[in-house]
Homo-oligomer: A and B are copies of this chain.
Amino acid sequence: MKFKQITIIGVGLIGGSIGFAAKRKGLVSRIIGVTAHKNTLRKAMKRKAIDAGTLEVKESVSGSDMVVLATPVNRVLSTLKAITPYLKEGCIVTDVASVKEAIVRDSERILGKEAFFVGVHPMAGSEQRGIDKASGDLFKRSPCIVTKTKYTDKKALRLVLSFWKALGSKVYLLSPAEHDKRISNISHLPHVVASALSLSAKGKSMDFASTGFGDTTRIAASDPDLWISILTANRKNVVKDIEDYLDGLIDIRNSILQNKDRKLKNILIQAKKKRDRFSLR
């Protein structure tokens, strides 16, 4: 598999890293990068994450075999609408958004039959952002979910699967709905939990906060605008997961309050087992 030309819209941490990795692995002859910020474009060119750059979304996609929408979640659909008239026939359009059901459904509707949408979510990155943090190793061994619906074009799907495998990801194929459910559980819920914990810290206690507090709240430092989009786009699953989590927490509260040390111990043992299994993966 080798693409002649792809366009990456949004050359930040994820978009930039896709550029680096795709060039290093020789998956693409020519990469065009698009961003609203001249400075980012200059850096991406200088670091050779892209071969050419433009600030103009529309002209950037003409002639490309694949377009990667690597914008923040809340800009995927508006960007897609803007580029649709300029897409080459049979172009593959893909994204990197961390919510999938609404985006995939609307994207398929917007594109119609002229071009093929395949929704993707690479689970890499951190609370950091921007081209400066981009790296060709970002996706190495990290999970990447590729989604499939009854409208998904088979050839486009095959190419997108190969592309992400070649970038180094561990690729999984799920329906958009299944994706949103799973990711709510192990990404969106942790974000809510960490944000609530950061908020609960009292000023007078902060002198004594150490690595435990630091790790548990790290993702609360992420971009609020980005997370508003994610949490609201996955509203149903996130609310359900928060409610299950509340039940678990109330269980712990009651065990402590009612001196049920045996029950509390059992809860802590189970929690440790699950976390240890995560470490050993």
Contact = CB atoms under 8 A, between A and B. Distances in A.
Interface stretch (A11-19, A23-31, A158-166, A209-217): A209-217
Contact of A199 (B200, B214, B225, B274): B274
Nearest to A234: B256
Contact of A187 (B172, B182, B213): B213
A196 to B, nearest CB: 5
B219 A190 contact: no
A126 interface: yes
A50 interface: no
A182 B201 CA distance: 9
Describe A's contact surface by its main secondary structure: helix
Contacts of A265: 224-225, 228
A238 B256 contact: yes
- Pick the most buried of A170, A183, A186, A246: most chain B CB atoms within 10 A of its CB: A186
A253 to B, nearest CB: 4
Please tell me the size bucket of the interface on A: 35 or more
Nearest to A191: B212
B207 A271 contact: no
Nearest to A274: B198
- Pick the most buried of A213, A223, A241: most chain B CB atoms within 10 A of its CB: A213
Given A124-B210, A217-B278, A245 B197 contact: yes
A269 to B, nearest CB: 5
B194 A216 contact: yes
